[in-house]
Amino acid sequence: MVDCVVKDWQGNEAGTASLDLKVASEANAAHIVHRALVRQMANARQGTVSTKTRAEVRGGGRKPWRQKGTGRARAGSNRSPLWRGGGVIFGPKPRDYSLKMNRKERRLALRTALQSRADDLIVVQDFADKLPRPKTKEMAAALLAWGVEPGSKVLLILGERDETVYLSARNIENLRLISAANLNVFDLLAADQIVATTSAIAKIQEVYGD
């Protein structure tokens, strides 16, 4: 169980919140989180790159010159991989990079990754009502008040997507905003600091606290 201090919009203490998640054992934690990370990155690959072999490039139907007597190396096609404009040897072809992982393992990896970042987690009260209109300057000031270090990569987790908060946060450098429903291993591990609202913590506890 992780107990966190909840901060208000001004950065003052406003209570506590707890996060109790079932995580992998210490011996298996790194392995299962690594598998989940590799799976996520592999599944993000499009796999649409394609090159043409000598059988697919245009031309090459006629022998460039006769076999003997010219003094040049023998050649059967001007679309050989050795020629300019020829085919590609063992070039990439469209393929599926996706990897499979059991749902229970994926959820366990996500819980383990989140619990491992407990020292870098900052819990704040829901602040959508503090931004009646999009204001990047106020959002940046709030991050500093919460203890976010300037220049660090920050992951901001909300319970539900809010358009005003999104518009206020999208121009802040190194800030990534996601909802609790879109929580993933890569974002959790890539961030230097994680800021989560109380509603996001409650939703994470509800969804993943099994």
Q: Is 123 in contact with 17 (CB distance < 8 Å)?
A: yes
CATH topology of domain 2-45+100-208: Ribosomal Protein L4; Chain: A; (3.40.1370)
**DSSP reduced 3-state for 203:** helix
Percent with pLDDT over 90 in the chain: 76
Mean of the pLDDT values across residues 21-40? 93
- 35 or 15, which is more confident? 35
> Which residue intervals of the chain are DSSP H helices?
26-43, 103-116, 136-145, 163-169, 185-190, 198-208
The residues spanned by each domain of the chain are 2-45+100-208, 46-96
* Tens of pLDDT, residues 87-113: 999 999 999 999 999 999 999 999 999
Q: Does the pLDDT of residue 80 top 90, yes or no? A: yes
Q: What does the pLDDT average to over 169-190?
A: 93
Mapped onto helix, strand or coil, the DSSP state of residue 197 is strand
Residue 198, amino acid: T
pTM: predicted TM-score of the whole model, two decimal places: 0.82
